[in-house]
Structure 1
């Protein structure tokens, strides 16, 4: 196990003896005006009221790099505060009158080269890859007087680049803080800053140990995600000459998926492990993928993620067109909209990875029927996941898609129970909207790829609370209303844009005002062309038709 060092260190020593890298997996600089003013006010209060006491600034979690010429560390936790102090030194340098204070601040930012002492030119804090802030730092932090370029900084504070906009705002905020301070106060404050504020730092040469310490100590700010940590681990296993290339591949995938990236990584975990996840995503990769499945960290992992992302774009998001039929696209669309989870996606990704487009629609039909039926039949989440993992194992087992699709056991559904549940009162059940979506899909001709199914809701034909003087009261007894109101045959899908205040209208008026112009969207709503009234005979017939079609 690598040695772990923990100690406290004052600002002067930190910015003179340590060198820092903000690695590519770190978040952007995001401290806002309130964050900075809180820190400055606390420091000023300590300076004025407790000038001889140490002031605790928080913790740093550092990972020692392989660089031997410098005491160099990657920053896992504490980069927001370090970056703020980095800019603080630039502003303090530019507002100071005393030359020694100016020099001390600049030395904490930048090391001037001296070939006679074999000292290279070097900046104290380096940002790698993410956000491209190097030019900004050169212009406003490294350059003497750079923090005084108020107009340029105000313009930069509007930059779309998150780090640049926040850094510009930080410099403006710190400059404003010093604007009403005397030169004597500034000099004394500069002396206090060098000696009394202290960080507690924890460092190690092991990435895993460093992240473990981060997890234990981090209780503030924006925590790193599992994806951030996995990226760092894997990029660290790649040769320096190729690190930037693979880091960029990772970032492009992460950027494209946004907040769904961790979920996408969980799909890959499921494909590899084929068992229910028992640990957090990071530990799942470490224990079940790297240790048990023997996947190599580094290039092999990034390439695996890239391969499945390409497949994901082909068969899930359709960002890459491979000429899939509309019947496939439409079924997938309603699955994404109406099913309770995306646990079925790994099965589809693995199928496509092995068999490509061969029988893919037939497989999706079976997968959807199995997953939705297990859900409607109220199998436990664990049992549903176990059933999906059986499908994953079968995909890996069979050599042809035909053999896989003939396996009746893995796709088996309790149709008796399914019929019982669909025959009951379904309104208010989680699956009601999905079942109606599925029925509309089964009635459709798939001439177009449907994509506007997100603005729909479930509506009763026979209202839940008909007015006492309405035709509904004449056509349906109280017992009949209790029997049929919430059953499948009395439910339709409508656009949410329709006026819900019309829901209690009589059938003929509802037909004319409520559904007119919408029957082309939902095929089943042709009932409003077919029937002039609504009664128990129609409901009975429709219930039988819908249930049989859905179960078949």
Structure 2
């Protein structure tokens, strides 16, 4: 039986030789905005000020949450299954602290960003945290390299993609807040974080066991979307040789749609498969109605998620491209977008996926769909009535029935 270990550690231990954190390529991108990063900063500063530290031995620990790791006992190598948002944000905060402080005070916190190495113990200098391959070079250059964070915040954000923009925004947020404090307060704040702020590290050497822990924690309200857990479910079952390829396909689809819309996509896919109103969470019903029907995870990504993500991008943004009927289709999609609900999207993206090359069919179908959606709006159909009708249309699309039958 695979053992699961759980223990609380101060940040001084979390960011030490005890752990070498690596974000696997199948993980979701770094996504915390200044809202989450600012809230973390406020919580930490508030916890320190609330306790009015006089005697360090009297300070109560402040818990930052859980991290889930694939890690063998006694070895530092740690694949992060859950917790990269907190770990990455804390490294950005340490980088800002090092930049704001000076002299010995600044140097004292460099070791929480990078392992300094020890020739007596045969430890090489290296970063404490390695992000996904596509994000790591940027992170290392601007956050883990001395002076990089101040240079980063002086650059224009226009050229940055999503992950880089999040890093830039949070670095700027932290630097601005720390620079507004006096240096003694910054130093006390930094000491409070490393000595009195704790993370609970849950580790197991088995990938499947780690995913189970990950899913349980997410289901109980951590800051992950259903698509993040489903990514672990799906990509975790892809063979090692193909895992990076399918991770990249998944993340390309997410990046093109945007994180919020990509999360919504899984609710629409659930509707296509279940053809009924949701009674449980998207996560539960996607597993029950979609994952249980699709055998190979590669087929699910290739034949379902990616094509429907492409269709959703076109439908949601009215971006259909063709030498014929494109303007007419996009005008109709624009009118559909004005409807006060999104229940029409599952049949729309399914039909576009199946008939992308037939502009006459698409134009006719979307005309009919827009008239139906408008009728439902004017007549004030209930959500149950709308779902029942759209479910029938999904069945019709799957059965390749004649377009004239949609009115029946």
- TM-score, structure 2 normalization: 0.75
- Render the CA deviation track for 1:490-512: whole Å, top value 9, x for unaligned: xxxxxxxxxxxxxxxxxxxxxxx
**How far apart are the structure 1 equivalents of 2:11 and 2:230?**
31
Alignment partner of 1:70 out of 55, 76, 81: 76
**How far apart are the structure 1 equivalents of 2:335 and 2:156?**
43
**How far apart are the structure 1 equivalents of 2:309 and 2:196?**
50
**How far apart are the structure 2 equivalents of 1:12 and 1:328?**
58
Count residues in correspondence.
388
- Is the Cα–Cα contact under 8 Å of residues 344 and 388 in structure 1 kept in the other structure? yes
**How far apart are the structure 1 equivalents of 2:351 and 2:297?**
24
**How far apart are the structure 2 equivalents of 1:329 and 1:283?**
34
**How far apart are the structure 2 equivalents of 1:170 and 1:192?**
16
- Is the Cα–Cα contact under 8 Å of residues 257 and 309 in structure 2 kept in the other structure? no
Q: SS state of the match for residue 318, structure 1?
A: coil
- Render the CA deviation track for 1:429-448: whole Å, top value 9, x for unaligned: xxxxxxxxxxxxxxxxxxxx
**How far apart are the structure 1 equivalents of 2:192 and 2:375?**
69
**Equivalent in the alignment of 2:226:** 226
Displacement of 1:254: 2.9
- Does residue 36 (structure 1) correspond to residue 41 (structure 2)? The answer is yes
**How far apart are the structure 2 equivalents of 1:375 and 1:247?**
40
- Is the Cα–Cα contact under 8 Å of residues 9 and 200 in structure 1 kept in the other structure? yes
**How far apart are the structure 2 equivalents of 1:319 and 1:255?**
19
**Equivalent in the alignment of 2:384:** 382
**How far apart are the structure 2 equivalents of 1:153 and 1:327?**
45
Which structure shows the bigger proportion of residues in helix conformation? 2
Displacement of 1:21: 3.7
**How far apart are the structure 2 equivalents of 1:21 and 1:172?**
28
Whose Rg is larger?
1
- Is the Cα–Cα contact under 8 Å of residues 110 and 124 in structure 1 kept in the other structure? yes
Alignment of 1:346-357 (within 5 A): 346-355=346-355, 356-357=357-358
Runs of 4+ residues deviating >6 angstroms:
188-192
Q: SS state of the match for residue 211, structure 1?
A: helix
- Is the Cα–Cα contact under 8 Å of residues 116 and 124 in structure 2 kept in the other structure? yes
**Equivalent in the alignment of 1:294:** 294
Please give the root-mean-square deviation of Cα atoms over the aligned residues, in Å: 4.1
Alignment partner of 1:56 out of 58, 61, 71: 61
Displacement of 1:89: 7.2
**Larger RCO: Structure 1 or Structure 2 (Cα < 8 Å, ≥ 6 residues apart)?**
2
**Equivalent in the alignment of 1:88:** 94
**How far apart are the structure 1 equivalents of 2:393 and 2:157?**
51
- Is the Cα–Cα contact under 8 Å of residues 77 and 214 in structure 1 kept in the other structure? no
Displacement of 1:72: 0.7
- Is the Cα–Cα contact under 8 Å of residues 320 and 330 in structure 2 kept in the other structure? no
**Equivalent in the alignment of 1:276:** 277
**Equivalent in the alignment of 1:404:** 402
Alignment of 1:437-452 (within 5 A): none
- Is the Cα–Cα contact under 8 Å of residues 109 and 124 in structure 1 kept in the other structure? yes
**How far apart are the structure 2 equivalents of 1:354 and 1:176?**
56
**Equivalent in the alignment of 1:482:** none
Q: SS state of the match for residue 300, structure 1?
A: helix
**How far apart are the structure 2 equivalents of 1:261 and 1:361?**
25
**How far apart are the structure 2 equivalents of 1:79 and 1:349?**
32
Q: SS state of the match for residue 199, structure 1?
A: strand
**How far apart are the structure 1 equivalents of 2:343 and 2:226?**
19
Displacement of 1:52: 0.8
- Render the CA deviation track for 1:273-330: whole Å, top value 9, x for unaligned: 3333222222222111112x23533563255222123344566723432522655444
Displacement of 1:372: 4.0
- Does residue 7 (structure 1) correspond to residue 7 (structure 2)? The answer is yes
- Is the Cα–Cα contact under 8 Å of residues 153 and 171 in structure 2 kept in the other structure? no
Displacement of 1:335: 2.9
**How far apart are the structure 1 equivalents of 2:393 and 2:351?**
10
Q: 1:176 to 1:315 in 2, by over 3 A?
A: closer
Q: 1:389 to 1:5 in 2, by over 3 A?
A: same
Q: Which moved more, 1:57-66 or 1:6-15?
A: 57-66
Alignment partner of 1:108 out of 92, 101, 112: 112
- Is the Cα–Cα contact under 8 Å of residues 47 and 62 in structure 2 kept in the other structure? no
**Equivalent in the alignment of 1:199:** 199
Q: SS state of the match for residue 60, structure 1?
A: strand
**Equivalent in the alignment of 1:306:** 306
**How far apart are the structure 2 equivalents of 1:66 and 1:302?**
31
- Render the CA deviation track for 1:34-54: whole Å, top value 9, x for unaligned: 753652464366473342134
**How far apart are the structure 2 equivalents of 1:189 and 1:379?**
56
**How far apart are the structure 2 equivalents of 1:320 and 1:56?**
57
- Render the CA deviation track for 1:97-116: whole Å, top value 9, x for unaligned: 38xx946x444332355688
Q: Which moved more, 1:298-307 or 1:108-117?
A: 108-117
**How far apart are the structure 1 equivalents of 2:46 and 2:330?**
57
Q: SS state of the match for residue 206, structure 1?
A: helix
**Equivalent in the alignment of 1:483:** none
- Is the Cα–Cα contact under 8 Å of residues 253 and 310 in structure 2 kept in the other structure? no
**Equivalent in the alignment of 2:365:** 363
- TM-score, structure 1 normalization: 0.58
Q: 1:322 to 1:288 in 2, by over 3 A?
A: farther
**How far apart are the structure 1 equivalents of 2:143 and 2:246?**
31
Q: SS state of the match for residue 224, structure 1?
A: coil
Alignment of 1:122-161 (within 5 A): 122-128=126-132, 132=135, 134-135=137-138, 137-138=140-141, 141-143=144-146, 146=147, 152=151, 155-156=154-155, 161=165
Alignment of 1:206-221 (within 5 A): 206-216=210-220, 218=222
Displacement of 1:361: 3.6
